[in-house]
A and B are shown apart, each in its own frame.
Chain A
C-alpha cells in the first residue's frame, strides 16, 4: 500500500470488553511503533518492534495491553478488559530506520471509545 493503514478507524467498546487494533506498515519497514494519544495530549509511546522482535514495551500502561508482530509485518495491539481511561487515539508508525530518527509515516489512527 501507499502508506501505513490502521483498522478499524473507529471502535466503540463497552467497559470490560477486549479489543484488537491492527496496523499494516509500509512494506519493507522494519521498525513499527505504537503510540497512544489522549484528547488534548501529545502521543505517548507504547511499544516498538524491529521486525518481529518487541524491543521496547516500557510504555504499555498495564498488563491489559499486549502487542505482537509475529511475522515482522502486520502488528496487532490488544487491550483486554477495556477501561474508560483507555479511550484515546491509537497511532501506529513505521520506519526503515532506528527509533531515534524522525517518524515520517504515521497511520490515520484508531479512535477507541470505551463506554
Chain B
C-alpha cells in the first residue's frame, strides 16, 4: 500500500509568518512530487512540483524534497489570509501509476 502522511491540522499562523507544511511518503520509487491547494468546496489546484532533492522556489512558495528521508515539505512565506486552504501532497508513485494524495493539511492564516 502506497501511503502519504500529512498532519491534518488545522495549522494556524499569523499573517506575514512562514507556514510550514510537511509530508512523508512510503513509496521509495516515487520520483515526482506535487503540492495542491484546495479551497473549501473547490477542486484541487496544482501549485508546485519538485523532482530533485533540495529546494525549489516559486514566488512565496518553496518546496523541499529529501528522497532519502522520504519527506517533502512546502513553505509559504509572508502568509496571507487568502492562503487559508487545505494543502494536499501528492507523490507520483513508481510504475507510471496515478497520483496518490495525502489527506491534506488545513492551513488557517489569521489576519
A residues lining the B interface (CB < 8 Å): 33, 35, 40-45, 48, 56, 91, 98-104, 106-109
Question: Judging by beta carbons under 8 Å apart, are A102 and B34 in contact?
Answer: yes
Instruction: Kindly list chain A residues whose C-beta atoms are within 8 Å of the C-beta of B92.
Output: 99-102
| CB of B23 to closest CB in A, whole Å | 11
Contact B104 A42 (CB under 8 A): yes
Q: B14 at the A/B interface (Cβ < 8 Å)?
A: no
Q: What is the interface of chain A mostly: helix, strand, loop, or mixed?
A: loop
Smallest Cβ-Cβ distance to A109: which chain B residue? B43
- Asked if B104 contacts A99 (CB within 8 A), the reply is no
Residue in B closest to A59 when the chains form the complex, CB atoms: B98
3 tightest Cβ-Cβ pairs between the two chains A and B:
A42-B101, A106-B43, A102-B34
Taking CB atoms, residues of chain A closer than 8 Å to B44 are 43, 91, 103, 106
Chain B residues, Cβ within 8 Å of A91: 43-44
* Residues of A close to B100: CB separation below 8 A: 45
Cβ-defined contact, B102 with A100, below 8 A: no
Are B32 and A101 in touch, CB under 8 angstroms? yes
Tell me the number of A-to-B contacts counted with CB atoms below 8 Å: 59
Q: How far is the CB of B74 from chain A (nearest CB, A)?
A: 14
Some 30 contacts from A to B, beta carbons below 8 A apart, are A33-B98, A40-B103, A41-B103, A42-B4, A42-B6, A42-B88, A42-B103, A42-B104, A43-B44, A43-B88, A44-B101, A45-B100, A91-B43, A91-B44, A99-B92, A99-B97, A100-B32, A100-B92, A100-B93, A100-B96, A100-B97, A102-B49, A103-B34, A103-B44, A103-B99, A104-B46, A106-B43, A106-B44, A108-B42, A109-B43
CB B100 to nearest CB in A, in angstroms, measures 7
CB distance from B31 to the nearest CB of A (A): 7
- Report how far A41 CA is from B44 CA in the complex, Å: 12
Cα distance A103–B35 in the bound complex, in angstroms: 10
By a CB distance below 8 angstroms, the chain A residues around B99 are 45, 99-100, 102-103
B43 in contact with A103 (CB, 8 Å): no
